[in-house]
Chains A and B, each alone.
Chain A
Amino acid sequence: MADPTGLVFNVQRFSIHDGPGIRTTAFLKGCPLRCFWCHNPEGVYPRLEVQFHSSRCIGCGECARICPQGAQELLPSGERVYHRERCITCGECVEACFAESLQITGREVSVSGLLREILADRVFYETSGGGLTLSGGEPMLQPEFSLALLAACKAEGLQTAIESTLLCRWELIEAALPLTDLFMVDIKHLDDARHRAATGVSNRPILENIARLARTGKPVIFRTPVVPGVNDTPAEVGAIAAFISGLALGRPGGLKGLSYELLAFHRLAEEKYHSLGLEYPAAELIPPSKEQMAALLEAASAHLTAVRGR
C-alpha cells in the first residue's frame, strides 16, 4: 500500500491549544503565506533548514572539521561563523553537534511512521476527547500526505482536526471533509489590500473557501492573531466577527459549531528567526496588553457569542 511521506518540523504531544482534549499536533513544513510576525518561521519553507543556536555552541570546532562545504567555520578568536550560502543541508554538522547548537529543522516522515508516533498517546485521546491536529505551515501544501494521514487516523478511530490557511484548491478541502472533525482557520484581515500587505497574499481565495467550508456545516474555529498595526483595532476585529456571524446564513445549523478566538501576538519566536539567519521583522512590535485584548473581545462579542481570547 502506498505510504506517502511528508515534511514535518515538529510533532508535539500533549498539545492542548489546538482543539479539544489532549492532542498531538503535527506541524507540516511549508506555507503559502509570508506573515511578517510569523510565530513559526521554521515552518515557512518546504525544505530542510539548519538552525544555528549560537548561545549553545561550546566551540569544539567539530562542525568546521566535518563540513564538506566549508560552511561552518571556527575563527581563531573562537567565534563560530555559519556561512549559510555555502550550506547544502547535508546534516553532517548537526550529527556531530552534541551541544545541539546546530539542529536540522524538518524531518521526512511516512504516514505509517507518523501514525505510530501519534498512536503513542491514543489512550489519552480516548479519555480526553482529543486526537490529531494537522498544522503548519500549511497542511494542504502536502495534500497527498495530509489526506493519507487523516485517513489513517480516521481508520484508527481518532478524532482529527486541521489548522489551515485554506489557501488551496477547494477540491483538497473537499477531500479532507469526511476525514476531519474540526477545522481551525485564520482570518487575518477582511480588507484585501491590508491582507496582502501583512501576509503577501490576497485574502479572496481564502474567504471564498471559508464561505464554502462554513456551508458544509463542519465545526470551525476561526482565529485572528492580533498583531499591532495589522488588525488590532476593535473595528477590524469587529468586522471579522460580523463576517463570521454572516456565515450562519446558508449553513446547516446556523452559528452552531462556529467559534472565534483572538490570539495575542507574542515575541517568543525571535530566537528562532536568529537561528535561521533571518532578521526578526516584528522586532519593533509590542504585544497587545490585557486591556486591549479585552476591548477586542468585547468588539467581537457584539456579533458572536462563542468568542474567546488567549
Chain B
Amino acid sequence: MEPPAPLTYSDRLDALRAAKLAQTAEKQALLGAMDHDDWGLILPPPERRKVVRTLSSSGMPITDCTLEGYEPVPNHPSGGFFGPRAAGENFRRLLDAHPVYLDPLSSLAGGYMVNFMSYRKPHWNPDLSAGEFAAEIERYRLLPGIGATQHFCQDLQIGLELGWGGLLKKIRHYRWLNAPRGEDFYAGLEAVVLGVQGWIARHAAEAARLAESEPDAALRLNLEEIAAINARLVNEPPRTFREACQWILWFQVTARMYNGSGSLGRLDVLLQPFYQRDLAAGVLDDEEAVFHIACLLLRDTAYIQLGGPDAAGNDQTGPLSFLVLEAGHRLRIPANVGVCVGENTDPRLLRRAVEIQFADRAGYPKFLGIDRTAQGFARLGYPIELGRQRAYSGCHWSAIPGREYTLNDCVKINFARIFEVAFDEMLADTASQPSTAALLQRYTAHLERAIEVTARCIGFHLEHMHAVFPELVLDLACHGPIELGEDASHGGVEFYNLCIDGAALATVADSFAALEQRVEQEGRLTWQEVQAHLRANWAGPEGERARLMLKSVPRYGSGGSRADEYAIGLARIFAERVAGARTPQGCRLVPGLFSWANTIPMGQDVGATPNGRFAHDPISHGANPDPGFRQDGAPTALAAAIAAVQPGYGNTAPMQIELDPTITREEGGVEVVESLIRTHFLLGGTQINLNVMDAEKVLAAHRDPTLYPDLIVRVTGFSAYFASLSPRFRQLVVDRIISGA
C-alpha cells in the first residue's frame, strides 16, 4: 500500500481551524455569551475546569473558567494579593500549574487556558481609598481607569534580542545595581521570567515525549523541532524565523494570561530580519513563513500593525506585511490586524486588504489612517517622528512600543450621562428659562468637571497601581522599568499620554438637535413635556408620538444638519478640554471617541434621551451616527461625518462601517472601497472597522447562531465569532448591518 501523502500546510491549517472551532463551541457551551474579543483561550482539561464570575481585563463582568487546583496565596486580610512580589510569585505558581498545550499539527508550542486576572479578588487594595472621587464617579457614571491594566504596547525587540535568559540576567543586574530599591519589584519580575522558563521547558520535554510515540514521520519531525526550539528558547534569544514566531507567541500568551494584554504591534517589522536571514540561508520560503505566522495568530488574537512609516517617514511595508496579511486570510478566524493606509504607504497593501475583505467577509483586516494619527500626536507638542513610531496595538489605539504608558481604551466619559445630569439640573432650576443654549452651557460645565475628576482618578491610579498590580510582563519588554526599578504605571517609561475617550456622541448631538427643532423652533413640545416623556420612558401613545417626533429630525450623519453641527461642536469641546487638562502629576491627556463594547452597559446607566432613545437602551456606537441616520445610509455621508468629529490629537475616533456584499460583485468594487477608505483618511479620519456582510446571513445567524458557527464579525475594534456574542450584542451588530445594507 502506498503511504498517505504528507499533509500540506493548507491541510494542517484546515485541521487547526477545525480544532479552534471545536474549542470555541466548547467555550460557548461552558461560558455562555462572550461579548469580547475572541482571545485565543483554550479551556483547561475537563477535570480542571472551575467556572467563575469575574471581571475581564477590560473591566467588564464576565463568566470565566479558572484552573481547579490552583489558588493564589493572599498577602492581605481582604484575601487579595497586592504588590509586585505577590503578583509575580502567584503568577509563577500559576504558570507552574498550567497544563502544557501542544498540537502536533502546529509548528509552535503553547496556548493559554486561564486569565490570572480572574484570581484577583479584590481587584483593588481596599487600604487605598479612592472614596473622595466616588460620588462624582457615580454621578457621571465615569469609567475613570483606576485599576485598569495593560493597554499600552511593549517593545518586543527587547525580548527578541535578549531572550528569557537575557531578560533574567538584565533584571538581576539592575536588582544588584539598584539594591535595596525596587527589591519587591525585581522579585516579581524574576518570578515571572522563571515561571515562563519553566513553562517553556515543560513544553519542550512534552514535545520530545510525544515525538517518540508519533507514528507519522512528518509530525514526529515537527514535534522534535518544537522540542529543540523550545529547549533553546528557555534561555536563548531566537535565531530563526520560526523561533522568533515561537518567542513572540510565548511573550504574547504570557502577557495575555497575566492581565489580558493583546498588544503586539508591528509584527512585519519585528520579524523582518529573521525572515531575510532565513530566506538568504535558503531555510525558509514564503509558504512556510505564512504557516508559522498563522500558527502564531491562531493562539492569540493580538493587535497587529502592517506597513506604515518608520520614524523618518519611510514606508516599512515589505514582503512580510503581505505574508502576515495572507496568514490571517488563510486562517479565517477572528484576527485583529490593521493595515496602514497613508500617502507613502505601499498602495498594494490596501488593494490586497480590500480583496481579502471581499473574499472572506470576516471583518478582516481593518484600516489605519497612519498619517492622521501621527500628525495628531504631533499636535500634543511631540516631534512627528514619535507619532510615526506609535504602533497600532489595541482595539482603536496605538502606543510607542516600550516607551509610552497610555491606559488606552480604559477611560471613558459617557456624554449621554453628562447630558442627562445637565438636562435634569436645568429643568430643576425654576429660576431660569430652559433653552438649548443654556443646556449646552450646563453640559459643558459638567463635562469639564467630569474630565477634571477623571484626570484626578488617573492620577490616583498612577500613584498606586504599581503597588496593587504592576505590569510585570509588559515591563519586561519596555525601556526603563528594569533599568529604573519602576513599574511602567509608575514612572518606569518615558512618556505618559493618558487616554480619555468620549462616548455617545450621536445620542447627545441628536438630542440637542431634536430639542432645538421640536421645542424651540416649532414649539410642538414644551421642555416640561419632554422631561415628562423622558421620565415616563415614552409611555403611552402620546409618548410614542413625541418620541417619533423627536427622533425624526435630521440626524448626525445626514450631512449639513444641525445635529451634524452639534456633533462637531460637542467633539471639539471635548477634545479641547481633554487636551488642555493634566493629571495631578502633570501628565498629558489625549482625547478619543470610542465606546468599545461599552455601548450596552453605558446605555444601561442612562434614562431615555431626547433623540428618541428608550431608557437603558445602548448609547450610540463610538463616533458613529446612529443606524438609520440617512435613508440611503450613504457610506460617503458616514465617512464625511466621522471625519469631521475627529478629536485630532493622535488618538482615534474610528469609523465602523458595514457594506452590502453586492459591492463585491460590482466591476471596480475593490477600487470603490479603496477610494472610500482613502478619502475618509484624507478628510481627517483615523481608523476604519469594516464588515462586508450579507444581511440575510447575519439575520439567519441571529435567529439561530448554530447555523453559522464560523461567521466572524468585526464587532468594534475587535472581531469575534458571531455565535459567541450575547443576543443583545448580536442585535446591535444586526441593526448596524441591516442599516448599512
Interface residues of A (CB under 8 A from B): 10-14, 16-17, 20-22, 58-60, 62, 98-100, 120-121, 123-124, 127-130, 308, 310
Shortest distance between the CB of B358 and any CB in chain A (Å): 13
| B560 close to A120 (CB less than 8 A) | yes
List A contacts of B663 (CB < 8 A): 16
In the complex the two chains form, is A60's CB within 8 Å of B541's CB?
Answer: yes
- Among A11, A98, A121, find the residue whose CB has the most chain B CB atoms closer than 10 A: A98
Using A21-B672, A22-B672, A127-B682 as known contacts, say yes or no to A14 and B635 having CB atoms under 8 A apart.
yes
Q: Is B441's beta carbon under 8 Å from chain A?
A: no
B545 to A60, Cβ gap below 8 A? yes
**In the complex, how many angstroms separate the beta carbon of A1 from the nearest chain B beta carbon?**
23
Closest beta carbon of chain B to A179's beta carbon, Å: 23
Task: Tell me if B675 and A124 are in contact (CB < 8 A).
Answer: yes
Q: What range describes how many residues of B lie at the interface?
A: 20 to 34
10 contacts between A and B (CB under 8 A): A14-B635, A14-B636, A14-B637, A21-B675, A62-B545, A120-B637, A120-B640, A121-B636, A124-B679, A308-B667
Residues of B contacting A60 in the complex (Cβ-Cβ under 8 angstroms): 541, 544-545
Q: Which of B548, B668, B675 contacts A98 (CB 8 A)?
A: B548
Bound CA span A152–B666, Å = 28
Chain A residues with CB under 8 A of B348: none
Question: Cα distance A121–B672 when bound, in Å?
Answer: 13
Output the least CB separation between B464 and chain A (Å): 48
Query: Assuming A58-B545, A98-B552, A100-B552, is B632 touching A12 (CB within 8 A)?
Result: yes
Contact B668 A127 (CB under 8 A): no
Q: Considering only CB atoms, which chain A residue lies closest to B668 in the complex?
A: A20
What residues of chain A lie closer than 8 Å to B162, measured between beta carbons?
none
Cβ contact of B683, chosen from A10, A12, A123, cutoff 8 A:
A123
Least CB separation from B630: chain A residue: A13
Max chain A CB contacts within 10 Å: which of B544, B636, B637, B683? B636
A120 and B559 contacting across the interface, CB-CB below 8 Å:
yes
Whether the pair B541, A59 counts as a contact (CB closer than 8 A) is yes
Cβ-closest chain A residue relative to B549:
A98
Judge whether B634 and A14 touch: CB under 8 Å: yes
Contact of A13 among B549, B636, B675, B682 (CB under 8 A): B636
The minimal Cβ–Cβ distance linking B699 to chain A, given in whole angstroms, is 16
CB of A132, distance to nearest CB on chain B (Å): 13
Give chain A residues whose Cβ lies under 8 Å from the Cβ of B559.
Answer: 120
CB contacts (< 8 Å) of B672 on chain A: these are 16, 21-22, 128, 130
- Give 4 closest A-B pairs by Cβ, nearest first: A128-B675, A13-B634, A98-B548, A14-B634
Determine the chain B residues whose CB is within 8 A of the CB of A22 once the complex forms. Answer: 636, 672, 675-676
A159 to chain B, nearest CB (A): 13
Residues on A with C-beta less than 8 A from B551 are: 98
Given known A-B contacts A21-B672, A121-B636, A128-B675, A310 and B541 have beta carbons under 8 A apart: no
Q: Are B665 and A310 in contact (CB-based, < 8 A)?
A: yes
Alpha-carbon gap, A120 to B634, bound state (A): 12
Residues from chain A with a CB closer than 8 A to the CB of B679 are 123-124, 127-128
Residue interface bits B675-718, CB-to-A below 8 A is 1, else 0 = 11011001100000000000000000000000000000000000
Q: Which of B549, B666, B675 contacts A127 (CB 8 A)?
A: B675
CA distance A219 to B552 in the complex (A): 42
What 0/1 pattern do residues 626 to 662 of B give for CB contact below 8 A with A? 0000101011110110000000000000000000001
Cβ contact within 8 Å between B682 and A16: no
The interface bits of chain B over 593-615 (1 if a CB of A lies within 8 angstroms of the residue's CB, else 0) are 00000000000000000000000
Q: Does B183 belong to the interface (CB within 8 Å)?
A: no
Question: Is chain A's interface secondary structure helix, strand, loop, or mixed overall?
Answer: loop
B727 in the interface, Cβ–Cβ < 8 Å? Answer: no
Q: Which of B545, B630, B639, B669 contacts A16 (CB 8 A)?
A: B669
B576 located at the interface, meaning its Cβ lies under 8 Å from any Cβ of chain A in the complex: no
- Which B residues lie within 8 Å of A127 (CB)? 675, 678-679, 682
Measured in the bound complex, the distance between the Cα atoms of B657 and A14 in whole Å is 13
B671 at the interface (CB under 8 A from A): yes
* A98 to B632 alpha-carbon distance, docked (Å): 18
Question: Residue on A with the closest CB to B547?
Answer: A98
Q: State in angstroms the CA–CA spacing of A129 and B636 once bound together.
A: 14
Kindly report which residue of chain B lies nearest to residue A261, judged by CB atoms: B667
Which chain B positions have C-beta within 8 A of A11? 632
CA of A128 to CA of B639, assembled, Å = 14
Q: How far is the CA of A54 from the CA of B541 in the complex (A)?
A: 17
Neighbouring B residues of A20 by C-beta, 8 Å: 668
Shortest CB-to-CB span from A302 to chain B, Å, is 21
A57 to chain B, nearest CB (A): 11
Least Cβ–Cβ distance between A146 and chain B, in angstroms: 21
Contacts of B635 in A (CB 8 A): 14
Beta-carbon nearest neighbor of A10 in chain B: B632
Contact across chains for B632 and A14 when beta carbons are under 8 A apart: yes
The chain B residue with its CB closest to the CB of A128 is: B675
Task: For B541, give its contact among A58, A129, A308 (CB under 8 Å).
Answer: A58
Nearest chain A CB to B490's CB is how many angstroms away? 46
Report how far A160 CA is from B500 CA in the complex, Å: 45
> With the chains together, A127 CA to B668 CA distance in Å?
13
Q: How far is the CA of A62 from the CA of B666 in the complex (A)?
A: 44
Complex CA gap A120/B560 in Å reads 9
User: In whole angstroms, how far apart are the Cα atoms of A129 and B668 in the complex?
Assistant: 10
Contact A17 B634 (CB under 8 A): no
Max chain A C-beta neighbours (<10 A), residue from B548, B665, B672, B676: B672
Highest count of chain A CB atoms <10 Å: which of B545, B552, B671, B682: B545
Chain A residues with CB under 8 Å of B669's CB are 16
Q: In chain A, what residue has the closest Cβ to B663?
A: A16
B637 & A21 in contact (Cβ 8 Å cutoff): no
Q: When chains A and B are docked, how far (Å) is the Cα of A274 from the Cα of B421? A: 46
Residues of B within 8 A of A13 (CB): 630, 632, 634, 636-637
Q: Which chain A residues border B630 with CB–CB below 8 Å? A: 13
Residues from chain A with a CB closer than 8 A to the CB of B640 are 120-121
The minimal Cβ–Cβ distance linking A157 to chain B, given in whole angstroms, is 17
- Assuming A14-B636, A60-B541, A99-B545, what are 8 further A-B pairs, CB within 8 angstroms? A13-B634, A60-B544, A120-B560, A121-B634, A123-B683, A128-B676, A130-B675, A310-B665
Assuming A21-B668, A22-B675, is B541 touching A12 (CB within 8 A)?
no
- In the assembled complex, the CB of A304 is this many whole angstroms from the nearest CB of chain B, namely 15
Minimum Cβ distance to chain A for residue B151 (Å):
34
Residues of A with C-beta under 8 A to B667: 308
Given contacts A22-B676, A120-B560, contact A98 B545 (CB under 8 A): yes
Cα–Cα distance between A140 and B648 once the two chains are bound (Å): 47
Bound-complex Cα distance A10 to B630 (A): 12
A22 to B680, CA, bound (A): 13
Q: Do the beta carbons of B544 and A58 come within 8 Å of each other? A: yes
Residues of B within 8 A of A12 (CB): 632, 634
Query: Which B residues lie within 8 Å of A130 (CB)?
Result: 672, 675
Chain A residues with CB under 8 Å of B682's CB are 123, 127
Q: Hey, which chain B residues are within 8 Å of A124, CB to CB?
A: 636, 639, 675-676, 679
Contacts of A98 in B (CB 8 A): 545, 548-549, 551-552
A60→B671 CA distance, assembly (Å): 47
**Which of A10, A17, A22 has most B Cβ within 10 Å?**
A22
Q: Which residues of A contact B549 (CB under 8 A)?
A: 98
